[in-house]
Structure 1
Amino acid sequence: MIGVEAGQKRFFIALLPPVEVQQDAATIIEELGQRYRTSTAKAPPHITLQPPFLWAEVSTLENHLATFASHQSVIPIHLSGFGAFAPRVLYINVLPTPALLTVQTALSRKLETELGIVDPMAKRRPFAPHLTVASRNVTRQTFRQAWVELRSRQAEWQFVVERLTLLIHDGHRWQIQAEFPFAHRFPAL
């Protein structure tokens, strides 16, 4: 990997839906892939909180994430319909609830102030929670065709996320490195 210092690995931080929702999302990803030859990053279906970054001190990162999660409440998530970042990304829409926006902002601040991990794109655009179903091999033509199909399709899931997930890239795909349970079972009002 160009620009990677010795010992650094690629990570990202996400919220993973329950297995049943991941399976439903994987089915949609597979359908789009078969019909339009699209795909996504090789990772479990997820909602990204911190995009990929390079890091070497895994135990330090895990300790910071464990501390962060221990002060957070579980997060109610509502997926509703589909959305798009034209002309290349199709996704299941994640409603930007106050609880979700608060945890993402707090995590970004903690990573930046305590570890110096910053996503330059996040400095230029607001957090837009989503669960990607097509982002690779998406041409303008396949985007238009798939978007016509998806935009009117019904999709609805509600669940509670109880942990933060750290994923690591093994050179081929993203794997779960560690999970950090949220301490509080019910969100603060």
Structure 2
Amino acid sequence: MKHRYLIAILPPKELAIEIDNIRQLCSHRFNVFKALRPPVHITLRYIDELEESYEPKLITSLSAARNFKPFIQHLHNFSGFQKAKAIYVAATANKQIDNLYTQIINHTKPFCKNASGGRTPHITIAYRDVTPDLYLEIMEYYKKQTFQADFEVNQFSLLKHDGIRWNVLKHYHSLPGSEQLQIPL
């Protein structure tokens, strides 16, 4: 049986609740609800249609990607991808998250025939059920709003979709002393 997997940074609970409240308000104000389905997260990699028999190998492979130094992730205001009709809380790009993206991509290549994930870190608040006209209306609203937050990234998570919701399979904490272990990929 094939499943969907998500490798993501999950913000701390209090911040996730705060951003989920923003998603809820956006959903009710603009009548868009699909962004409420996944947990609040920054996508590192999405894997579509992976045979469940490969799951143990994926879990093991991701353990090798824990070689990163914890870092502070800044969130700053709102932006969007017009082509994808997605509105999001912008996460500031930085060397540390770029390194983590690279490690995740390199360690998941064998599992990723239909994988995606970008290098524009963000937390989505509206997408999929947003029409082109509605996208412009939502962006007009959110360009007047402000949002600021920082949190420490010291782990990433593997989630699996069960057909109804995303469930955390495993959290991968950064290795102690990773700053001394920077292994070239």
TM-score interval, normalised by the smaller of the two chains: 0.7 to 0.9
Supply the distance in 2 between the matched residues of 1:149 and 1:30 (Cα, whole angstroms).
Answer: 15
Q: Which residue does the alignment assign to 2:62?
A: 65
The reply on whether 1:28 has 2:22 as its aligned counterpart is yes
Supply the distance in 2 between the matched residues of 1:12 and 1:107 (Cα, whole angstroms).
Answer: 11
Give secondary structure in 2 for the equivalent of 1:25. Answer: helix
* Runs (5+) with no aligned partner, structure 2: none
* Runs (5+) with no aligned partner, structure 1: 1-6
The answer (yes or no) to whether the contact 1:166–1:176 under 8 Å persists in 2 is yes
Q: Which residue does the alignment assign to 1:140?
A: 132
The reply on whether 1:54 has 2:46 as its aligned counterpart is no
Question: TM-score scaled to structure 2, two decimals?
Answer: 0.87
Aligned length: 177
1:68-147 equivalent positions in 2, closer than 5 A = 68-69=65-66, 71-86=67-82, 88-112=85-109, 115-118=110-113, 127-147=119-139
Question: TM-score scaled to structure 1, two decimals?
Answer: 0.85
Label 1:154 to 1:186 Cα distance change in 2 as closer, same or farther (>3 A): farther
Deviations 1:93-136 (A, max 9, x none): 01111100111012102211xx24255666xxx62111100003
The reply on whether 1:165 has 2:157 as its aligned counterpart is yes
Two-structure CA RMSD over aligned residues (Å) = 2.1
Supply the distance in 1 between the matched residues of 2:86 and 2:58 (Cα, whole angstroms).
Answer: 30
The answer (yes or no) to whether the contact 1:43–1:175 under 8 Å persists in 2 is no
Label 1:178 to 1:185 Cα distance change in 2 as closer, same or farther (>3 A): same
Supply the distance in 2 between the matched residues of 1:155 and 1:27 (Cα, whole angstroms).
Answer: 12
